[in-house]
Structure 1
Amino acid sequence: MAVKQPPQILAKDTVARSKLFAIESLDLRFSNGVERTYERMKPTGRNAVMMVPVTKDGDLLLIREYGAGTENYELGFPKGLIDPGETPEVAAVRELKEEIGFGANKLTTLKEVILAPSYFSSRMTLFIAEDLYSEKLEGDEPEPLDIVRWPISQAEELLTHLDFSEARCITALLLALKVLNTSQA
């Protein structure tokens, strides 16, 4: 299959802005001459990380955190933005310390994912975090996060848990189970 050339960008314009986001309008011309206007979240250049922490006892460590989008507390894995100058690995360990009070001596990269490529450019690197050690850093959460221990032997039950619904968390869990099951076989 031939690789298509991306469309030509004829114009970019920021059409809306909030404290957190900017929406950008793109006027595009495709290789067949068709022109369209697309809207997307303006790229910030900041990516993120998400970790699937696994204890030596065989538990997954999850957090219960308020999600303003769903107006509810959601169950998921620790995650956060990569600060300027950090590698994904350094950000992963920092976020673990901030959100669950543990660092990790072993990180296994699972995959880099994009939430919705039609609207976002930011990438998230997914990791398995193992060989955990106790260390707490002050985070930016407005309230303490609930830490939930979940036996890895019951991990597939998370897929049907009502509060475990974020697509990135489900992806991270499925990829982690594939790697962990392979390494334990």
Structure 2
Amino acid sequence: MNERPTILATRDAPDSHFLHVEQVDLRFSNGETRTYERLKGGGLGAVIIVAMRDPETVLLVREYGVGVDRYELGVPKGRLDQDETAEQGANRELKEEVGFGARKLKILGTLSLSPSYMTHLAHVVLAEDLYPERLQGDEPEELEVVPWRLDALHELIARDDVTEGRSIAALFMAREYLAGRYHPA
């Protein structure tokens, strides 16, 4: 496992291309008005990939999360590039982060981070029938790939390094879909 990076400095980013704050004036059906602020994402959307090595095993990645200043174990994910579908973006991110492509991709739904103040949505994509292929990604270090059995998700979510809610939700969606209990629209 990689050693945690050293934070050299922090500062406000007033002109961030990543997130922008916008004010939203609203009138509710009962006549009440309010002004809310929300973070408006600057990207084209994102994907969260549940990559199945085999019918029982998902491939996770251990990646440094600067927001919590530690390594987290979760599913591969990333932003979509210009003119990419969710399936294309998921396959590209899978090749960059895990070193596999997928012959079978299925969108299971979308997840938000915090809908009360963020516009960000991410597509949850199930990737099956994997084959080895690696693309150069934008990560500063190679990610550790960790296989995990779907029937042991209860052990995964008990770990201190598994806190990212979208990863947990995506794994649950995939497990329920593969068991025939969840049928995405």
Query: Of 107, 116, 119, which residue of structure 2 is paired with 1:118?
Result: 116
Query: Of 152, 166, 170, which residue of structure 2 is paired with 1:172?
Result: 170
The corresponding residue for 1:96 is 94
Query: Of 51, 67, 70, which residue of structure 2 is paired with 1:69?
Result: 67
Q: 1:37 to 1:134 in 2, by over 3 A?
A: same
For residues 65 and 160 of structure 1, what CA distance do their matches in structure 2 show? 18
Percent of aligned pairs with the same residue?
Answer: 48
Q: Which stretches in structure 1 are left out of the alignment for 5+ residues?
A: 1-15
Structure 1 segment 35-74 matched on structure 2, within 5 A: 35-44=33-42, 46-56=44-54, 58-74=56-72
CA RMSD of aligned residues (A): 1.8
SS at match of 1:139: coil
SS at match of 1:106: strand
Structure 1 segment 79-158 matched on structure 2, within 5 A: 79-158=77-156
Shift of 1:43: 4.3
Structure label with greater radius of gyration: 1
SS at match of 1:119: coil
Shift of 1:163: 1.0
Query: Once the two structures are superposed, what CA deviation does each residue of 1:84-129 show, in whole Å capped at 9, x if it has no partner?
Result: 1000000000000000000001112211111111212221111221
Runs of 4+ aligned structure 1 residues displaced above 3 Å come to: none
The corresponding residue for 2:161 is 163
CA contact (8 A) 1:110 1:126 kept: yes
TM-score using structure 2 length: 0.83
Query: Once the two structures are superposed, what CA deviation does each residue of 1:145-164 show, in whole Å capped at 9, x if it has no partner?
Result: 11111123323321212211
SS at match of 1:96: helix
Moved more, 45-54 or 19-28: 19-28
For residues 43 and 78 of structure 2, what CA distance do their matches in structure 1 show? 14
Shift of 1:62: 0.4
For residues 166 and 19 of structure 1, what CA distance do their matches in structure 2 show? 23
Q: Which stretches in structure 2 are left out of the alignment for 5+ residues?
A: 1-13
Query: Once the two structures are superposed, what CA deviation does each residue of 1:7-63 show, in whole Å capped at 9, x if it has no partner?
Result: xxxxxxxxx542422111223333333222211112435211011111137321100
